[in-house]
Amino acid sequence: MSEEAKPLVKWAGGKRQLVDILFKSTPIEFNDYYEPFVGGGALFFKLYSQNKIKRAYLNDYNPDLMNVYAVVKSRPNELIEELKVHGRYPNEKAAYYQIRQNEPEDMVCQAARFVYLNRTGFNGLYRVNSKGKFNVPYGRYKNPKICDEENILLVSEALKKAVLSNKDFEIVRQQAKPKDFVYFDPPYHPISKTSFTSYTKADFSENEQVRLRDVYSELDGRGAFVMLSNSSAPLITELYSNYQTQNVLARRAINCKADKRGPVNEVLVSNWRS
Ligand SMILES: C[S@@+](CC[C@H](N)C(=O)[O-])C[C@H]1O[C@@H](n2cnc3c(N)ncnc32)[C@H](O)[C@@H]1O
């Protein structure tokens, strides 16, 4: 039986495979922890399991994802009950599309629908159409685990240390103080035109990458520990040329074309020397 909270959702760009490398690169001691692009939150859960989190600020622009965290934090047992109901639906295409089509108003039911679609949809992708409707196709998994009761309770415990928000990443400018640790894991700047960058209705453009670098520099000037993951695209190496950059090789499953799913070079940019 595992005792460590693990990411609740499969997430494009999720850091599960890289989390040990990332963990080794974190500051030995810091005050509060910030993840303004939390996604699946792999590094947060790792730091929590190593007793490194005093208080965390977890943010993501995706409202459906942040609703799941809010529900898991304060109403985990209601979510478990709801997911048990979802687990009784037959694992077949028609049931998937029916649940995808129904959009409940209650926040616990919304969270259960999100977890169900994340477990049973293609590659755990999150994608919405121009009207904001979730449109990922059925994933054809043999035996998806819809309700991981033990993990939901562990995650709920971990989230008691976290302040949750659903804002643009710049919120961290108002929050982080000297000696706090900020980890940015934004949508990656594409190396190729087919790279996956869309998690919400708004895309993360070149201007957004520049805006993020400006926030990075501001927090650096303030005396916070700042770390960023991104692709090794020339724009990124140029934007962070004043900082220490480490290359990391990651195996990505976020491209829907199998031949584009090989290892890609990512960079890890930090503003301190460990
Ligand atoms: C690479 S993923 C993060 C992966 C995460 N570290 C993990 O381990 O699963 C990037 C996240 O940024 C979020 N995002 C996109 N634009 C944003 C913005 N302007 N402000 C905050 N979050 C944003 C997306 O919803 C997505 O969850």
Max distance between CA atoms of the chain, in angstroms, equals: 55
Beta pairing class for 56-59 and 33-35:
parallel
Query: Distance (Å, rounded) from C-alpha 243 to C-alpha 54?
Result: 27
Six token digits for residue 232:
């090794």
The answer to whether 4 and 49 have CB atoms below 8 angstroms apart is yes
Q: What atom of ligand 1 comes closest to residue 183's alpha carbon? A: 6
- Retrieve residue 115's tokens: 């977890």
Given this model, what pLDDT does residue 252 score? 58
pLDDT score of 1: 47
Share of the chain above pLDDT 70, in %: 90
For domain 19-69+157-270, say whether CATH 3.40.50.150 is its number: yes
Residue positions counted in the chain = 274
> Contact, 269 vs 243, CB < 8 A?
yes
- Substitution site in 60, 203, 228 for ligand 1 pocket (most atoms within 8 Å of beta carbon): 60
Same fold, 19-69+157-270 and 77-151: no
Mutate to test the pocket of ligand 1, among 37, 114, 200, 231 (most ligand atoms within 8 A of CB): 37
Q: How far apart are the C-alpha atoms of 246 and 267, rounded to whole Å?
A: 6
Q: Which residue has the tokens 């028609």?
A: 94
Task: Report the alpha-carbon distance of residue 67 to residue 89 in Å, rounded.
Answer: 23
The amino acid that residue 256 corresponds to is C
Distance of CA 184 from the midpoint of ligand 1 (Å): 9
Rounded to the nearest 5°, which phi and psi values hold at 233? -60, 145
Confidence bin at 203 (pLDDT 50/70/90): confident
The residues spanned by each domain of the chain are 19-69+157-270, 77-151
The confidence score (pLDDT) of residue 89 equals: 85
Q: How confident is the model at residue 39 (pLDDT cuts 50, 70, 90)?
A: very high
Whose Cα sits closest to atom 24 in ligand 1?
199
Span from the CA of 88 to the centroid of ligand 1 (angstroms): 31
Q: Which atom of ligand 1 is nearest to the CA of 11?
A: 9
Average pLDDT over residues 58-84: 97
Q: Output the ligand 1 site: residues, CB below 6 A.
A: 11, 13-15, 36-37, 39-42, 60-62, 168-169, 185-187, 199-200, 204
**CA-based angle 123:59:160, to the nearest 5?**
100
pLDDT digits (tens, 9 = 90+) for 212-233: 999 999 999 999 999 999 999 9
pLDDT tier, 149 (very low <50, low <70, confident <90, very high otherwise): very high
Q: Beta 244-251 vs 263-270: how paired, if at all?
A: antiparallel
Q: pTM above the 0.85 mark?
A: yes
- The beta-carbon contacts of 136-145 under 8 Å, at least 24 apart in sequence, are 136/100, 138/93, 138/96, 138/97, 139/96, 141/91, 142/91, 143/91, 144/91, 144/119, 144/120, 145/119
Nearest CA to ligand 1 atom 13: 37
Q: Which CATH superfamily is domain 77-151 in?
A: Adenine-specific Methyltransferase, Domain 2 (1.10.1020.10)
The number of the ligand 1 atom at minimal distance from the alpha carbon of 13 is 1
Question: What pLDDT score does 188 carry?
Answer: 92
pLDDT at 259 (0 to 100): 47
